[in-house]
A and B are shown apart, each in its own frame.
Chain A
Amino acid sequence: MTTEETNSSGPDPLLDLRRIVKVYHTPAGDRPALKDINLQVYPGEFVAVVGKSGAGKSTLINVITGIDRPDSGEIIIGGTPIHTLTEDQLARWRGKNLGVVFQFFQLLPNLNLLENISIAMDLCDTYPVRDHKKCALELLDQVGIAEHAYKIPSKISGGQQQRVAIARAMANDPPVIVADEPTGNLDERTAGEIFDLFESQVEQGRTLLVVTHDREIAARATRQVEITDGEIRGLGVGS
């Protein structure tokens, strides 16, 4: 069993993975992707999970977001054991409790930026409908894109699109944001800017878990953990 524990005397973890196992059954035989993973992320932490391609990073983030299910183990986020929820319940729960940022942004190409944010609000009742536009504009302002609010995604750069995706992840004010290779499709300078944005979110009290293969940028997180062959180990506190 591999363990990564910090702060055990502090508050309860916001994100708590206990003994997560995930095995993929392939024609070439079983391939264990996650081997008994334990990981706790505490409120206000900025955690980077680093690892090579195939190490289990994507599987890890997919079980946290509920896109994939573990074979065994428990995932407790903000006190909710999400491994017990149906996909339908999970999707509704996630809207309010977990913001997700993807490598390829996943913005809807036919909607302008404002609409891309406000549709995420429509799914939850966090804000009254009449406030959606105002809230969406505020979020776009926070990520520095307000002037482009009425453009469609293809009219702005990749870095700007990822900012919009981050704004969308925050649409229903979730306490935790997870990001899957959020800078994997961006140049170095733009990647740095995205991490600036993450840092400012953490300063505002959000909790962040970022999966990346880029060790240099991972060093900007407050804590790094490494995943190798489906097992996790701590790398200590970053710069």
Chain B
Amino acid sequence: MFRNKRRNGDVQVAIKDASLIDLRGVSKAYKTDAGEFTALDGVTLQIDQGEFVSIVGKSGSGKTTLINMLTGIDRPTGGEIHVAGTAVHHLNESDTATWRGKNLGVVFQFFQLLPTLTVLENVTLPMGLCNLYTRRERIERARHLLELVGIADEADKLPSRLSGGQQQRAAIARAMANDPPIIATDEPTGNLDSHAAEAVMQLFESLVDQGKTVLMVTHDPELAERAPRTITLANGELLNEYLVRALPTLPHDLLLDATRQIETSLFAPGELIIEHNAEPDKFYVITKGDVEVVLPTPDGKEVLLDSLGPGQFFGEIALLNGGLRTALVRASHAPVEVVALSKEVFLDVIHASKETLSELADIITLRTNRLALAGSSQ
């Protein structure tokens, strides 16, 4: 399959329909005195151009290792990393440096501007590495980038004369120096007050609007929510993104347990997923497409109860309340992909978290009320 990729108004180029970033079974193990330590374990992940992705997880979960893999700063001990068609895991050290310079802008928590250079010089600094611009163009481009981040007036000052927020904006301008498709950042607002942090986040959002792909490691859940997509790591493994969205209060170790035991299924448009009055056997979370939740009436008609999309779940009522399936669920007009947990796994996991159980009980109350209302109106 082919599609058009457009960058910076350049001529449209047909490229193979692959994700910008494609990780396949990526692992990283370190040898320590206490034995081997696995920082990443079989991570498979695709990120498309123009996505804004936050990467979260507890300290030690592997999120910094993951971003270092994505950015070619660190090498995997297993698996493959493809970025914009380049097999990054195959590059030698010198080629990795060149590749990184052109493809990747990095923004750090502590800005990392060189204190003895002006803001403008800090921004032109990486341009010499890639030789994409002539010397004259470099200065023009740096001024333009500083304008974009709103600190053109500070161009000829030393970083120490700027506020923290201004320094971080200068660092973002520097990250953009060679016009890379990907911006990677680790806790970019960790050292800023809330006002300056907001300005920095808006800047990232505007870069995404311009087609850049932004990857942001953070421990701050509020910040992570600013990104339309969140990747969660636990123990060096990726948690299923949709399971995390469906059951946000479930602790990471339980989500990891559940992630390891999910089964993925595909359904054609209109195909039945759950039959009304059947024995319940699974809990479902939608990963692609939409489903219709329908109550068949005794006279052969149907009442549409709900329409659910990615990150939403179904099939929990009969599993938790007992009895048979209360409604039928089928794929809408497009193909549907779901991940499912068996009854046993689902009940084990859910009963280990009081908070999640009570959250599910609230949703079940809402849904059974809707069922009762639909049944009584017949």
Contact = CB atoms under 8 A, between A and B. Distances in A.
Given A67-B116, A87-B156, A91-B158, A109 B94 contact: no
Contacts of A119: 125-126, 128-129
A150 B93 contact: yes
Nearest to A154: B73
A3 B263 CA distance: 80
Interface in A81-115: 86-88, 91, 94, 100, 102, 106, 108-112, 114-115
Contacts of B97: 111-112, 114-115, 150
Contacts of A112: 93, 97
B27 interface: no
B196 to A, nearest CB: 22
B116 A123 contact: no
A118 interface: yes
Interface residues of A, number: 30
B100 interface: yes
Nearest to A150: B93
A154 B112 CA distance: 14
A114 B158 CA distance: 25
A78 interface: no
A68 B128 CA distance: 28
Interface string B49-87: 000000000000000000000010100000000000000
B314 interface: no
A122 interface: yes
A123 B117 contact: yes
A59 interface: no
Given A66-B116, A102-B115, A110-B100, A91 B73 contact: no
A106 B118 contact: no
Contacts of A115: 97, 101, 129
10 interchain residue pairs of minimum CB distance: A122-B128, A150-B93, A88-B156, A110-B106, A91-B118, A119-B125, A112-B97, A100-B116, A91-B117, A87-B158
Interface of A: 65-68, 86-88, 91, 94, 100, 102, 106, 108-112, 114-115, 118-119, 121-123, 129, 132, 150-152, 154
B112 A91 contact: no
Contacts, number: 74
Given A87-B156, A87-B157, A152-B73, A123 B121 contact: yes
Contacts of B94: 150
Interface string B123-142: 01111110000000000000
A5 to B, nearest CB: 28
A108 B108 CA distance: 10
Contacts of B363: none
A154 B128 CA distance: 22
A115 B178 CA distance: 15
Nearest to B184: A110
A91 B157 CA distance: 9
Interface string B92-112: 011011001100101010001
24 contacts: A65-B116, A68-B160, A91-B116, A91-B121, A106-B112, A108-B112, A109-B108, A109-B112, A110-B71, A110-B106, A111-B97, A115-B101, A115-B129, A118-B129, A121-B128, A122-B124, A122-B125, A122-B127, A122-B129, A123-B117, A123-B124, A123-B125, A150-B94, A154-B73
A88 B117 CA distance: 8
Given A87-B161, A91-B116, 4 more contacts: A66-B116, A111-B129, A114-B97, A122-B128
Contacts of B124: 122-123
Contacts of A108: 112, 114
Contacts of A152: 73
Contacts of A129: 128
